[in-house]
Amino acid sequence: MGPVRRPRISIAVYRPRPGRAAELRIAVEGHQPLLRAEGLATERPGLVMEAADGTLLEVFEWISGAAIEAAHANPRVMALWERLGDCCDHLPLKDLPEAQGLFAGFRPLD
């Protein structure tokens, strides 16, 4: 019997750099479809949300912890992550003001 594959849900937080919000949104929209196409993310529907200051949050499910590691060796994923890194700063969830309250609220993006 092989190793147990346990899905992992991630919450990524992307604060757009000045003038790069539209570019960030396009990159984030392509993130989950790419991860699925590469066999790294599950088909569970993800969410993309926006904080009051324009920061985007993405919630999605990896197929396993090993898939997270595999993504770092995948040239297509790394190219998209480079695009993301060019147009945003990654933040810990705790740095958003909304995360300080008992119930964090964000605006859903379609």
- Whichever domain contains 22, its CATH number is 3.30.70.100
- Strand 88-90 vs strand 8-16: parallel, antiparallel, or unpaired? antiparallel
According to the model, what pLDDT value does residue 5 have? 75
- Phi and psi of 27, rounded to 5°? -65, -45
According to the model, what pLDDT value does residue 3 have? 57
How many of the other CB atoms lie within 10 Å of CB of 83? 17
Q: What percent of the chain has pLDDT over 70?
A: 96
Q: Does the pLDDT at position 69 exceed 80?
A: yes
Model confidence at 9, pLDDT cuts 50, 70, 90, reads very high
- Domains of the chain: total: 1
**What average pLDDT does range 26-34 have in this prediction?**
97
**What average pLDDT does range 29-33 have in this prediction?**
97
Asked if the structure places residue 98 within a domain, the reply is no
Asked if the structure places residue 83 within a domain, the reply is yes
1-10, 26-35, 99-108: segment of lowest average pLDDT: 1-10
- Phi and psi of 9, rounded to 5°? -90, 135
Asked if the structure places residue 39 within a domain, the reply is yes
Helices then strands, counting H and E runs in the chain, come out as 3, 5
Q: Which domain holds residue 44?
A: 8-92
**What average pLDDT does range 46-68 have in this prediction?**
97
Q: Mean pLDDT in the chain?
A: 95
**What average pLDDT does range 20-48 have in this prediction?**
97
